[in-house]
Structure 1
Amino acid sequence: MVTDSYPVTAADVVRIYRYLLEHAAETILSALAEATEAGTDGFRQYVGIPDAANGLPWAVKQGWSCCRPARILHTSGLVGEGNRYVVVVLTSHPASVTDGVGSRRVTAVVSALRPLLGGGTS
């Protein structure tokens, strides 16, 4: 159980992706590569990695919630040919921040990383 005393960190999420890659978890990785633009609740989940990938292949697991007490928007996944890079951006915004503003902020973080991911900038 995750509590305030033991939060999940970006490094923890990176370890999960490395485990999946090392153990050839193709079923899971394929599902992440087929993430739809809208979640089952209708939330637009192509923020962060999908919006900033600019033609690079990606496989993602997104996360969002609001507003107890903050707006949470996460993007995590694999980017590049052969799932070369693991990218994890975990964010917390004041509840007053809209989904649109928060989503643009998350995408801006990944866009800033884009030159490091190969294939030019977004």
Structure 2
Amino acid sequence: MPSPRIADLAAARALFAGLRNATVETVAVAYLDPNRRLLGMRHVAGRRDRVPVTIRTIAVDALGFGAVGVVMAHNHPSGDATPSARDVAFTQALAAGLRTLEVVLLDHLVIAGDQVTSLRAMGVV
């Protein structure tokens, strides 16, 4: 069975739908090939309001999968999909770090129940 193609926001939302009702903050990172097909994923569960995931971990995974694109998402168990200042800063640093490896951060989604905020749509990425 071929890997799913993550070509737009709707496909990304479907891929990360499992984060909608998680009770602890969880990060999911999708690693994509040049045709935006899924090569692999990493899920990291954290605490109520924080997840211990690093730029290094995401970069190592991206290189290991041979990815050219990354889409990440995390949930806000609080029910508010507004990105925090920490979310914005991490996204900007991650995008810059991945660029040095010729990998593009395509989007970072914040999910809270049925709400989804795209940091790309906000102009952060």
TM-score band, normalised by shorter chain: 0.3 to 0.5
TM-score calculated relative to the size of structure 2: 0.33
The structure in which a higher percent of residues are strand is: 2
| Structure label with greater radius of gyration | 1
The structure in which a higher percent of residues are helix is: 1
TM-score calculated relative to the size of structure 1: 0.34
